Structure 1
Amino acid sequence: MTTAAPSARVLEHPARAEIRLEGVLHALSDPLRLLIVRELSGPRPELTCSQIELPVTKSTTTHHFRVLREAGVIQQIYRGTAKLNALRRTDLDALFPGLLDAILTAATHQADRKQSSPSGV
């Protein structure tokens, strides 16, 4: 019996037990990473990096996705040539009940305030 070689396209993710609150909060403290998480919490549970428009370079976008993955906030998997991103909602909800929902609600309220403010602040 032969064992298939591990794919070079498998990305490392922390196990559920390794996800730390400090890491999650740090990952979510950046406005662009919070935007990514908001997009991934929408109706489409899996999105490619290019489906989330960010006003930064591709290398900076890659950095933000890596921070989220390494903190355990998102999972990235390859499906064919596409790298799909999904929230690790089940893991986050089990470890930190209500945290993700509270952060997403607050982020939505903040975005709504920013849009309705005449100065955009």
Structure 2
Amino acid sequence: MEEALMRVLDHPAVEDIRLESVLHALADPRRLEVVCFLANSDVEVPCSEIDLAVSKSTGTHHYRVLREAGVISQVYRGTAKLNSLRRADLDALFPGLLERVIAAATKQSRT
């Protein structure tokens, strides 16, 4: 495939990831659901595999907020948009934050 035809999404560089943006992205229950799902997956996951029970446009918005905050990475593989957690980047910037947020969300969902 030619370089000009490849779809590339903008992601913040590690040094541009801001704590307030990450916290804002993690504050929404649907986005937190995406993060928890990705945290339990060791492979890139297509958007369609995560059932958010929202409209497609709302789901797109949630993924965009997570990507622009630096919480997830999204890449196109053919026509599929695949998602993965930027765990290493977030752990380097904010040690323990992601782990604790995911643990709290998991505990809360059980009650």
Separation (CA, whole Å) in 1 of partners of 2:100 and 2:43: 18
In the TM superposition, 1:63-102 aligns within 5 A as: 63-102=61-100
Q: Which whole-Å deviations, capped at 9, do the CAs of 1:15-53 have from their partners, x for residues lacking one?
A: 000000000000000000000000000134311000000
Separation (CA, whole Å) in 1 of partners of 2:40 and 2:57: 24
Deviates more, 1:96-105 or 1:41-50: 41-50
What's the TM-score, normalizing by structure 2? Answer: 0.94
Q: Which whole-Å deviations, capped at 9, do the CAs of 1:75-114 have from their partners, x for residues lacking one?
A: 000111111000000000000000000000000000001x
Deviating beyond 3 angstroms after TM superposition, the runs of 4 or more aligned structure 1 residues are 4-8
Structure with a larger share of its residues in helix: 2
List runs of 5+ in structure 2 lacking aligned partners: none
Structure ranking higher on relative contact order (CA contacts 8 Å, 6+ apart): 2
Residue identity over aligned pairs, in percent, reads: 62
- Count of equivalent residues: 110
In the TM superposition, 1:26-105 aligns within 5 A as: 26-105=24-103
Of residues 23, 27, 33, the one that matches 2:21 is 23
DSSP-derived class of the 2:84 partner: strand
Instruction: Report if aligned partners of 1:48, 1:83 keep a CA contact under 8 Å in 2.
Output: yes
Residue identity opposite 1:45 in structure 2:
V
Residue identity opposite 1:40 in structure 2:
L
Separation (CA, whole Å) in 2 of partners of 1:13 and 1:42: 22
- Higher alpha-carbon Rg: 1
Q: Which residue in 2 is equivalent to 1:112?
A: 110
DSSP-derived class of the 1:83 partner: strand
Instruction: Report if aligned partners of 1:47, 1:85 keep a CA contact under 8 Å in 2.
Output: yes
What's the TM-score, normalizing by structure 1? Answer: 0.87
